[in-house]
Amino acid sequence: MPHQDLTGVWLGLFSYPARRRAGNFTATLIETSTTLTGSTSEIWLTPPRAGETIFAMLLGRRHGHDVRFTKTYEGPERPNHSVEYEGHLTDDYQEIEGRWFIPGNWAGRFLMIRSGGRAIEVARQAFERA
């Protein structure tokens, strides 16, 4: 029986507007009714914090298969901004795919796969080809 909500650990990939290797993150989601909360961690790729683990908090909603949340990075140092995510959940509740954006700035695509789902490296190859 598939999960009927988004609660759990998810592995995520995101593209940049410029041609770079997709970034990745781990998200822990908790869904209560239609409200989503949680957190993410990722390795920051650019100076001055390149190589550091960066944390963010998530807050959003799910309506049917449509998922929206805001990821807000913690701390006074860069990154210290918010990123908006809009995606669509697959019928089996195993993947969320959509776009992320920083209003008035950057945008790209993202893919989240429920931990225990298909292999992230296989997903990365397909995601980067698209």
Per-residue pLDDT of the chain (130 residues; tens, 9 = 90+): 456 899 999 999 988 777 666 788 999 999 999 899 999 999 887 777 888 899 999 999 999 999 999 999 987 677 778 999 999 999 999 999 999 999 888 899 999 999 876 555 555 556 665 5
For residue 101, the model assigns a pLDDT of 95
Q: Domain residues for 44? A: 8-129
Q: Report the DSSP pairing between strands 95-101 and 23-32.
A: unpaired
* Residue 1 included in any domain: no
Q: Does residue 68 form part of some domain?
A: yes
Q: Is residue 80 part of a domain?
A: yes
Q: Is residue 2 part of a domain?
A: no
Q: Is 83 part of a structural domain of the chain?
A: yes
56 pairs with which residues across the strands? 40, 73
Q: How many folded domains does the chain comprise?
A: 1
Percent helix, strand, coil in the chain, to 5, is: 10, 50, 40
CATH of the domain at 119: 2.40.128.120
Q: Could you tell me if residue 93 is inside a domain?
A: yes
The SS3 assignment for 123 reads: helix
| Short-list 99, 106, 116, 90, CA closest to 14 | 99
Please report whether residue 86 resides in a domain: yes
